[in-house]
Amino acid sequence: MEEYLESISSYLPIRFVDLEANEFVEYLSEAYRENFEKGKYQFAFTAFHMLNMIFIYKTKWFLREQGNQSIIESLNNQTDKVFSSLFDLSQISEKTSLEKLLRSLRFHINDITICKNHVQVRNNCSHASGRIYYETEEKIEYFIKEEIEFVKKIHGKLKHELTKFLQIFIEENWDKSFISGDFKNLFEENYFSIKDLEVISEVDLDLFKEKSNNEKNIKQKIIYLLFVFEIQDQIKSDENLFLKKLPILMIDLPEKIEIEKDGNIEEMYISEMIEEKLMPVIGKFSDEDIEKSEKILKLV
């Protein structure tokens, strides 16, 4: 059953800023494992369902931050509640929370009913009803698989919003300097999961096809490449995603460009920009990938 835990974990935030929240997720994961090992399947499902709800809250929070009006309106209607983090969304009834999210993503009414039934299954497991409803592994495994299936379906509808996030990030930060810690903070603050970062790494923006012939375009591509480098480190990709994306920088790239500095227009050689921004990253690669990078950049 470990594969189900690995699956749901890949859709949850890689880590939280709040250490207690990280401990909470680990606590639920351990509760799932231990109860399955001891045949306490109802308690195992209860822990798994709570992990599933963290994904639901994370998704709603992200959509709210991206301006999803349906989610924003549903939360604004909760006038007696304050939402300062995704865990604050647990104040809302789980069935209501699921329905609002799935409706905003235009799921079929039958799908919504199935998802809301998972809450009832959880209630059967955790309420003091005097009965053990799910005594066998097979019974509880069915509902776990069903929850994972919906997690995948829900996440599959987020590509547009994740693409929008990347576009806004590049547009607003192209003229800023970013280091590794800045990106890690960005991932934490936005509750990004491994699956989120995988989607972002595969996004193909129109920007990537444009000529690299001005300061903004070049710096936008550079910050994207640095973003991708941090993604591949987080998701432990076997493929060098940075190297795969590096050619986007070379489209009609001139030897030098004009840049504005302290109110003055100056000329800057592209080699200087590459040396400052990209070579520290490239230097962390294997000798083979360093050589490939240098050939793409025409440094050898």
Six token digits for residue 289: 């990938």
Taking the C-alpha atoms of residue 68 and residue 49, their distance in angstroms, rounded to an integer, is 25
Per-residue pLDDT of the chain (300 residues; tens, 9 = 90+): 789 999 999 999 999 999 999 999 999 999 999 999 999 999 999 999 999 999 999 999 999 999 999 999 988 888 788 898 899 999 999 999 999 999 999 999 999 999 998 888 888 778 777 777 777 888 899 999 999 999 999 999 999 999 999 999 999 999 888 877 899 999 999 999 999 999 999 999 999 999 999 999 999 999 999 999 999 999 988 899 999 999 999 999 998 887 777 777 888 889 888 999 999 999 999 999 999 999 999 875
Write down the residue that tokens 């207690």 correspond to: 20
Six token digits for residue 156: 């599959």
pLDDT at 300: 57
Closest Cα partner for 9 from 20, 31, 25? Answer: 25
Residues 6+ apart with CB under 8 A from 256: 267, 268, 269, 270
Q: For residues 164 and 66, is the Cβ–Cβ distance under 8 A?
A: yes
Taking the C-alpha atoms of residue 198 and residue 284, their distance in angstroms, rounded to an integer, is 21
SS3 (DSSP) at 132? coil
pLDDT at 195: 97
DSSP letter string, 61-84: HHHHHTT-HHHHHHHHT-TT---S
Q: Where are the domains of the chain?
A: 2-157, 160-296
Q: For residues 101 and 56, is the Cβ–Cβ distance under 8 A?
A: yes
